[in-house]
Amino acid sequence: MSAREIEAAARERLQQAVGYRFRDAGLLLRALTHRSAGHDNNERLEFLGDALLNFTVAAEIFRLRPKAPEGDLSRLRASVVREETLALAARRVPLSEAMRFGPGELRTGGHKRASSLADGLEALVGGVYLDGGIEPAQALCLRLLAPELASLPEVGSLKDFKTRLQEVLQAQSRPLPEYSVLSEDGPAHRRNFKVRCQLADVALATEAEAHSRRIAEQRAASMMLDAITSSEKKKHA
């Protein structure tokens, strides 16, 4: 078989595995093209798929945990829609075999990297939405993450954002963040706290507000995690 035939066969296996067949073959190809492989890549579809995954999983968790408060729902969603979980879902289907990477990315093992697989999965969901609409896209999200949704953890077992941020920084041998209260106002029964999370080794800080200092710190830590993830993506771009 030629290289083109091998690629086409991989795309066929992927469509069979995920239970959706693209009407627009060009859209499928774009969804599977890593930015290292060319200008017409899957980054925009990744943006779209990320939003669809978050919404679909949020709606399903809302249904599955009818008595859970907003904070618990957010933590459960974050436990499902995260890089490690999406990469695991991508490995359950032959996604890496069907994706297109540039030579440099292949040499450095980019086709096996969790971030690349998670991004590719998001792009695939975004492509399904454009190709077939919201219903097949949401159905795909639920199929891909069915094992995780069927075994949602107890909320108390989930690590909070401050703990996760601490572990990320420690893994990089970086100093721990500093939290400070910028302001505190409002009546005694409903105080409002504005908190800053500051990294000690770079000029990067996030700020968040809540009706308790603890929740405000968690929100600031969550925002810092997002900022660090975004910075890492830009480095590898």
Cα Dmax for the chain? 74
The reply to whether 50 belongs to the active site is yes
Cα(214)–Cα(18) distance, integer angstroms: 41
List the catalytic residue out of 122, 131, 148, 217. Answer: 122
Cβ neighbours around 110 below 10 Å, total = 19
Which two three-digit tokens encode residue 76?
């459960």
Indicate the helix (H) or strand (E) that contains 182.
Answer: strand 178-185
Strands annotated E in 52-151: none
Catalytic site residue 122? yes
What angle (nearest 5°) sits at the alpha carbon of residue 167, between those of residues 163 and 172?
150
Give the whole-angstrom CA distance, residue 80 versus residue 188: 37
Catalytic residues, by residue number, are 50, 122
